[in-house]
Amino acid sequence: MKRTLLIPALALLMVAGCKNKDTQTMDNPFFAEWNTPYNIPDFSRIQTEHYMPAFEEGMARQKAEIDAIVNNPDAPTFENTILAYEYSGQLLKEVSSVFFNLSECENSPEMEAIEEKVTPLLSAHGDDIALNAKLFERIKAVYEQRESLNLNPEQMRLLEVTYKGFVRSGANVPAEQQERFRQLNEQIASLTMRFAQNVLKATNAYSKELPDGSKVTLDMPTWEPFMQTCADRKLREEVWHAFTDRCKNGQYDNTKIIDTLVNLRLERANILGFPTHADWVLDDCLAKTPANVYRCLLDIWEPALKVAKQERDQYQKMLEKDEPGAKLQPWDWRYYSEKLRAEKYALDDAEVRPYFSLDSVRAGAFMVANKLYGLTFTERADLPTYDKEARCFEVKDGDQTIGILYMDFHPRASKRSGAWMTEFRGQHRDLEGNNIIPIIQVVCNFTKPTADKPSLLNFDESETLFHEFGHALHGLLSKCTYPTLAGTNVPRDFVELPSQVMENWCRHPQVMKMYAKHYQTGEAIPDALIKKIEAAATYGQGFMTTELLAASLLDMDYYSLTSKQAIDPLKFEEQAMNKIGLIPEIISRYRSPYFQHVFTTGYDAGYYSYTWTAILDADAFEAFAESGDLFNPELAKKFRHLLESGYTVEPMDLYRDFRGKDPSPKALLKRKGML
């Protein structure tokens, strides 16, 4: 599944930092202007020893800024309270964005040690702000007189979001429970950090030498093709278990972390007045309630499971021909699925990849953004980068630079698996009204090029690139005033719309003809191959939809618990899958011990959002398809407005303004061949 790591401005404000005279004498690049083009972080000057002093100084400065707000003798106003808070912690936000983004893709023992040290400090600092009764009293005073303040719509939105953010972060927690609330936040922060570190280490720990002299690792670009093509069933089983048994015991065991984390999140939700952690999460999302999420997922579950069972029966027959009497197992599924796809559609992955070189697909994504929104992307090798593999692009709208885009495509031992978009700096306007352009990062894990061959993507990987690029456009096109409301700082079940809708252009035949070029000849992808891809578009949807829904329902089951209990994640997962009737030949897309979305990266009680938003993205693209012009200027202008608006307007109001009606699930079911 495509992963997205977002660092919302409000979250960074809430985890923000001490003024130490000694730090002022250090040659610490965080304590001065970067003196780089577009004020990009000067990565070459940043050393690991710079982070802790910068974190400490950042926390100290924000503490002083908060004290100034609290001790202001003047009556609370939008300017002296809401805006003063919104723009506090600038240094802390800067060092946090650099450190936590690089810890995801440039990790090291030194970075891990800093993370372990700073995480509880940031948690305590965030709580000092969220639980500051005098600060909240001033915010509440402004909020209660909001109708008489003559605020413009964006100011009103910032006031409402700030007030609700404080309430959700514990501002109303009774004094006698605040100490426990602080403990919970610190423990939760530490556990999520340890979970992620364990997954990275366990993934890097495995490497299997193969008879042909190559090797397979647990990185998806090597693991999945191996599972699709390896004819040795025993070897498939071994590698399957290496992948799916990660972190369930041994040195990198995450099972006890899950038990503790789920119960701590439940306790925290109870203190905040919610019956479950899911209720607390969804209160700030479009779905609103767990019941709505379950209804959405289960409406699709039955038709998806029906198709998955049909797929299973086909693969079982194929297995019996190879090994009479053998029963299909999860490690057989990808192998026979790929084999049948090649037979049924004469579609071989090896035939597809030459037309989807990484550079061609990237250029295709840029081309779509140009045709829709007029954007151009120019590579700038002269701008600072954090790694030699990270490519940097200047993004222009006409002759105006609107952002900087980093793209980091290949696996490294220091880099977590998956794909995500994040930002080193979000778009906003400073207090003087100057527009601050965003610095966006897209990270993927595609097979590296060789001496004689570029990185060649399969079609799913091509969609992944378009997906993360869609997130990037959401950040790059932002035209907001306040950091908290800008770019991708929208609810989880809306943030995937800009990314998932881009996948539709990736897979459309007309667009494929424009960007899919043979890496050796430059020849455009043949119509016959496009037809094969089209014909296979709904192939395997039973499996793909079922494993995704299973993971989403597992996530909801963990966080819909209403009482504290001892949790054995492996048994809990088994019971959850049995409850919905998942067939044993398929497992949840992520097993619990390495399910980073819901135990580390902020998708707890939110993994459903990929399905929820798929309804929106299919319906949105249908508008372009129905118009007869995939780059319809009028529709592109409306959708650009949706991207530019961030969270300044209610998301569904933005969607209705674009579409002219509420979304319908019919387009999604049609796309999946399940209508």
- Per the CB < 8 A criterion, the answer to whether 471 and 492 are in contact is no
β-pair partners for 536: none
- What angle do the packed helices 609-627 and 633-644 form, to 10 degrees? 150
Phi, psi dihedrals of residue 517, rounded to the nearest 5° = -120, 140
Q: Rg (Cα) of the chain, in Å, rounded?
A: 25
Burial class (CB in 10 A: 0-12, 13-18, 19+), 396: middle
Residue among 94, 461, 468, 585 flagged as catalytic: 468
412, 103 contact by CB (below 8 A):
no
CA dist 386 and 15 (Å) reads 24
Bridge partners for 356 per DSSP: 517
Strand partners, 209: 215
What is the per-residue DSSP string for 475-536?
A: HHT---SSGGGSTT-S-HHHHTHHHHHHHHHHH-HHHHHHH-B-TTT-PBPPHHHHHHHHHT
- Rounded-to-integer distance, Cα 444 and Cα 461, Å: 9
DSSP, residue by residue, 34-73: --SGGG---GGG--HHHHHHHHHHHHHHHHHHHHHHHT--
State both tokens at 111.
């970075």
Q: What is the dihedral of CA 465, 471, 473, 474, to 10 degrees?
A: 170
Residue 420: phi and psi, rounded to 5, are -160, 165
Q: Identify the three-state secondary structure at position 354.
A: helix
Please list the residues that pair with 391 across neighbouring strands.
407
Distances (CA, A) of 478 to 427, 488, 616, 641: 6, 8, 20, 9
- For the record, the structure tokens of 199 come out as 């997954």
Q: Is 468 a catalytic residue?
A: yes
H or E element in which residue 405 lies = strand 400-408
Closest Cα to residue 358, out of 445, 454, 466? 454
Contacts of 233 (CB under 8 A, 6+ apart): 323, 326, 331, 332
Say if CB 107 and CB 200 are below 8 A apart.
yes
As a whole number of angstroms, the distance between CA 525 and CA 84 comes to: 55
Distance CA 247, CA 592 (A): 9
Residues annotated as part of the active site? 468
